Structure 1
Amino acid sequence: MAYKITVYTAPGCPYCTKAKNYFRQLGLNFTEIDVSKDYRKAQELVRKTGQMGVPVIEIGNQIIIGFDKDRIDRILGVR
């Protein structure tokens, strides 16, 4: 099953880098939104999640706060 994956990031965020590298390792395409450069998307993220920190990962209609590899794997059916 193909999932739409969006990763909300900011420069210098080590967990953002880990998340992006993990999706690349799995061979999955994702959309990266740098909230430091897109104020409108940053506001949308806060409205949607109540979070001001990154990474926030959206897989389909599931929202993951931080790089929670176990939860990502469960949603994607990895392993």
Structure 2
Amino acid sequence: MVKVYTTNSCPWCVKAKNYLRSENIEFEELNVQDDMNAREEMISKSKQMGVPVLDIDNNIIIGFDKTAILKALGK
């Protein structure tokens, strides 16, 4: 399960989502700008307020980091 925590105006969130799509990886997008429960979940997991935050099978990746994403996906 891949979750991507985003906001409406985050360019790095767009890059992360486009990258996942280009790799045919399904993900759930959680907009922490609009969804307070998702915001609390993201902060609890990452101890961060910034986005994007990716949760790939409980591997937390802060920011858009292709290497970390591939590693978490086992590629």
TM-score (normalizing by structure 2): 0.93
Moved over 6 A (4+): none
Q: What's the RMSD between the two structures over aligned residues? A: 0.9
Larger radius of gyration: 1
Structure 2 unpaired stretches of 5+: none
> Is residue 2:5 matched to residue 1:12?
no
Q: Which residue of 2 aligns with 1:58?
A: 55
How many residues of Structure 1 are paired with residues of Structure 2 in the alignment? Answer: 75
| Amino acid of the structure 2 residue aligned with 1:32 | E
What displacement does 1:77 show?
Answer: 3.0
What's the secondary structure of 1:11's corresponding residue? coil
TM-score (normalizing by structure 1): 0.89
Contact residue 12 and residue 63 of structure 2 kept, 8 A: yes
Structure 1 unpaired stretches of 5+: none
Identity of aligned residues (%): 48
